[in-house]
Amino acid sequence: MDHPSTSSLRRAWRRAVAVSVAGLCLAPGTRDARAKDATAVPRVTKVAGKPSETAMEKPAESPREPERDPVLVRPFLQIIYAAFDFDTNDDAVSLEIIPNPTTNLGVTLGAWGLGISLSMDVGRVEPIEEYGNSENFNLELTYPFRVFGGRELDVTAFLHYHETLSMNREGASRQVVDDAVINTLGIDAAFVFDPKFSIADAFSDFMPRTGSRGSWFMRSSLELWFLGFLDEPDRRLIPDELSDGFGDFVDVSRWSQASATLGAGYAYDWNITHRFFLSMLGHLGLAGSLFDLSFASGGTESSRALGFSAGLQLAASFVTKEFHAGLVSGAVADSVTTHRVDVVAQRVSSTLFAGMRF
């Protein structure tokens, strides 16, 4: 099997690093339960042969009872970037497919450990004449379970939708393709090995905590990607102006991809001062994908491939018991090689947020 195009990977991670430095971030979620410490209860005891006296009698230990979160309301301002990069196996031709990055407004609501985040576009980052009037909608559901001795299993289900794409290749002018969409549906889970560490607290819930701590974790995800036209199966995805060098691949109308990833990473939460935190997370793993190509002239083609998945997150936050605010930046990229092209699917998002717990 050929390796994914190095030029696509370099281009993808240059974007991710640039966005991270600019303060882009992933949308926040909510946190799971915490437990109350048992307290000693003063009792009057009687000892045989001696007068009664007051003593501190330690009660028998009982299982920890979860303390549910108060109601959470967190508005946020978000920037979303998503892209597909296609390169022919010999790197002779490269095609970039992206929606116009959007500025979104959203809100995260949470209670009893469950969080829901919604955001919709309110503006475009790049000129509409060049990149199109793209639309974006995002929905996320989060819940950090506690399993295997109190270790965290942080689970997120998500839906990301982009409509109206722009395409570009070297030596040609950028083309806007109306009604073409990128749609991503999936579930992501991270299992934290250290029971005293919480990814949710550091990167999405921003709960009060003390000291600095890190942990290794295992990450897995299942994702469904769709690129193309929902209602026009006989329309070519790639415009004629950009089709040279791709052979019969230019006849593709829809690109459907199912991916499963499995990897590992490390997260560290640095308590700079009492209320200020800087958190870092990175992961790397393998990705297996199934592809289904639908052609405008009729017919379909299926294939499968192996590749790599990687991600990076940075978070800076100010946290009190009731109030929290900050920035988080992150990027995720999956890269696979098919017998036709090398594909890099990437997503970078950012959120500036401030929230209250009641």
Does residue 1 form part of some domain? Answer: no
Residues of the domain holding 29: 6-33+65-352
Does residue 39 lie in a domain region? no
Q: What is the pLDDT of residue 15?
A: 53
Q: How far apart are CA 198 and CA 117, in angstroms?
A: 20
Answer yes or no: is 235 within a domain: yes
In the prediction, which pLDDT does 327 show? 96
Residue whose C-alpha is closest to residue 247's, from 175, 301, 181, 307: 301
CATH code (residue 159): 2.40.128
How much is the pLDDT for 69? 57
Mind giving me the DSSP string for 95-108? Answer: EEEEEPPEEEEEEE
240: left (phi over 0), alpha (psi -120 to 50) or beta: alpha
Select from 108, 89, 283 the least CA-distant residue to 204: 108
CA 185, chain centre distance (Å) = 11
How far separated are the first and last CA of the chain, in Å rounded? 54
151-168/323-337 β-pairing = unpaired
Contact in structure between 217 and 264 (CB atoms under 8 Å) = yes
How many domains does the chain divide into? 1
Q: How far apart are CA 130 and CA 358, in angstroms?
A: 45
Please, what is the Cα angle at 16 between 293 and 164, to 5 degrees? Answer: 45
What does the alpha-carbon distance between residue 21 and residue 239 come to, in Å, rounded to a whole number? Answer: 34
Domain membership of residue 330 (yes or no) is: yes
Q: Give the Cα separation of 101 and 55 in Å (integer).
A: 67
Closest CA to 282 of 213, 224, 349, 329: 329
Per-residue pLDDT tens over the stretch 41-99:
343 444 444 444 444 444 444 444 345 457 999 999 999 999 999 888 776 788 999 99
Nearest to 259 by CA among 199, 333, 324, 198: 333
Residues of the chain with pLDDT under 70: 1-69, 91, 339
49: in domain: no
**pLDDT at position 142, please?**
95
Does residue 304 belong to any structural domain of this protein?
Answer: yes
Using one digit for the tens of pLDDT, what is the confidence trace for 210-224? Answer: 999 999 999 999 999
pLDDT of residue 36: 38
